[in-house]
Amino acid sequence: MLLDQFNAAPAEKARELLKPCLDVDRWVTEIVDARPYARLDDLLATARGAAHPFTDQELEAALAHHPRIGDRAEGASTEAGMSRSEQAGVDPADHAIAGALAEGNRAYEEKFGRVFLIRAAGRSAQEMLAALQDRLGHTPEQEEPIVAEQLREIAVLRLQQLLAEQTLASKGA
């Protein structure tokens, strides 16, 4: 979607466009309420800082939408498609890495009570596995800000992707 179209969209439509990026009402509302944006960089800056800090409830609700690293999101939703694209670096046919990720995911969930979250886009499966193993050594207090930062990175990347795809589609590319 072009920035001008996002700026001019009715609030509810703008909210619905943002939800696949991060389904946290306060984040979505702060971005929509700050319109109009003069430049894409202004929109992205607002997205990086919106709803800071996330509440525990916001984090938990947002994490409920994220599949485990190594699992493929199912369905035809925009969010599922984004997740599959982000995890392109994970080859399910690499059984050694897939098994290590599954084991790491289980250990992480047992220790922290939630899904392991990392910005997967642009990372190899080995990089994600190394980060998972490293973060298993954290305390909950150390892990909390990392999870929030990863969630923000994912949201901003998804927003950039959404705007880029809609811009290309509107140009007939």
Which position has the higher pLDDT, 78 or 14? 14
Candidates 150, 24, 135, 154; CA nearest to 86 is 154
Specify the pLDDT at position 167. 52
- Give the tens place of pLDDT for each residue, 123-173: 999 999 999 999 999 999 999 999 999 999 999 999 998 887 655 455 444
For the chain, the domain total comes to 1
pTM of the model: 0.87
- Give the tens place of pLDDT for each residue, 56-100: 999 999 998 888 998 877 777 878 778 778 887 787 768 999 999
117 pLDDT band, cuts 50/70/90, is very high
CATH number at residue 9: 1.10.3330.10
Instruction: Tell me the one-letter amino acid at 6.
Output: F
What tokens does 111 get? Answer: 């220790």
Structural domain span for residue 163? 3-170
CB 14 within 8 A of CB 166: no
CB 154 within 8 A of CB 115: no
Q: Give the DSSP letter string of 92-140.
A: TT-HHHHHHHHHHHHHHHHHHSS------TT--HHHHHHHHHHHTTS-H
The helix or strand, by DSSP H or E, that contains position 78, with its residue range, turns out to be helix 78-86
**Rounded CA separation 80/67 (Å):** 9
